[in-house]
């Protein structure tokens, strides 16, 4: 039976932990996995620009013995040039998996509904589960067991915030989202995370004061204030989000050994200062590198 990777909530805690174990094993020694996806091809559909997502999926499947084919917006235009249904029915006959990086989450849901092959969510406007996998892999490597840890996300309650809440709730990590009033995470996402947290005892909360949010945080995380598709709001958001900048003063309010995280790309001088992102506390490039290993584990788990 085919399995899709649209959201971490579709997997059990044990399944997620197993993927982390596979990712760490691959990172240590890829050789045993180097032919695991031999002869298999993944279509990479990217409607949004990408550095990390495209590179890590492209390189990742090759390191597992498979191939990738990149399909740009010029080739794929959901609902315009061709319907999602027809795209799914074509590609399921040509490739063994699809990674989709798109705007509408419905595109990913529909593609998974119609295709008989595995669909991996490489980013939608609702969630970014592959990023969360890399993030929690990084936290696990640097902080050890998840239980008792606190992550504070500072900024817009966006797709990254949603996925951090979801996976944190499943793994037993307390997650606080600190955002301006009116920019909180989607209510459904928050409630789903709270429901998942019941099994692990994790605390999921949303606050409007970043200073309160980062108290006792083991990890402080931020993202751009205006995501792709929100460029017209950039100037207004800069004013609203200015008090939520992650700078040395805010980091000082977290635990002394707190790490700084960012999904990248970063707008230096906006959501984070140079002195924080370039500090010894920053693990942003470690985190970016872990996209490769986390996603290899996802591909291996779904496509082998």
pLDDT for res 156: 97
pLDDT given for residue 109 in this prediction? 98
Are the folds of 8-128+290-303 and 131-287 the same? yes
pTM for this one? 0.97
Cα separation, 151 vs 146, in Å, equals 10
pLDDT at residue 69 in the model: 97
Does domain 131-287 fall under CATH 3.40.50.1370? My reply is yes
Fold of 8-128+290-303: Rossmann fold (3.40.50)
- Mind telling me the catalytic residues? 101, 128, 131, 223, 263, 291
Instruction: Encode pLDDT of 131-169 as tens digits.
Output: 999 999 999 999 999 999 999 999 999 999 999 999 999
Domain boundaries, the chain: 8-128+290-303, 131-287
């Amino acid at each position: 039976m085919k399995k899709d990777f649209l959201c971490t909530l579709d997997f059990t805690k044990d399944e997620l932990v197993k993927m982390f174990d596979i990712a760490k094993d691959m990172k240590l020694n890829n050789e045993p996995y180097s032919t695991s996806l031999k002869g298999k091809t993944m279509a990479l559909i990217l409607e949004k620009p990408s550095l990390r997502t495209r590179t890590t999926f492209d390189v990742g499947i090759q390191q597992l013995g498979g191939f990738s084919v990149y399909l740009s917006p010029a080739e794929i235009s959901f609902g315009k040039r061709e319907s999602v249904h027809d795209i799914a029915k074509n590609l399921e006959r040509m490739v063994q998996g699809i990674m989709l990086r798109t705007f509408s989450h419905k595109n990913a849901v529909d593609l998974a509904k119609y295709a008989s092959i595995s669909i991996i969510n490489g980013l939608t406007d609702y969630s970014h589960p592959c990023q969360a996998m890399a993030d929690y892999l990084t936290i696990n490597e640097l902080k050890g067991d998840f239980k008792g840890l606190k992550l504070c996300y500072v900024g817009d309650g966006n797709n990254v915030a949603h996925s951090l809440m979801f996976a944190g709730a499943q793994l037993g990590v307390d997650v606080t989202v600190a955002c301006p009033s009116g920019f909180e995470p989607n209510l459904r996402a928050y409630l789903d995370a709270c429901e998942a947290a019941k099994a692990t005892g994790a605390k999921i909360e949303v606050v409007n004061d970043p200073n309160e949010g980062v108290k006792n945080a083991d990890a402080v995380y931020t993202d751009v204030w205006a995501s792709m598709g929100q460029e017209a709001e950039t100037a207004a958001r800069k004013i609203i989000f200015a008090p939520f900048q992650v700078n040395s003063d805010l980091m000082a309010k977290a635990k002394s050994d707190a790490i700084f995280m960012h999904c990248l790309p970063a707008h230096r001088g906006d959501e984070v200062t140079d002195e924080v992102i370039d500090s010894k506390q920053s693990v942003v490039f470690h985190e970016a590198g872990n996209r490769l290993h986390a996603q290899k584990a996802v591909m291996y788990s779904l496509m082998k």
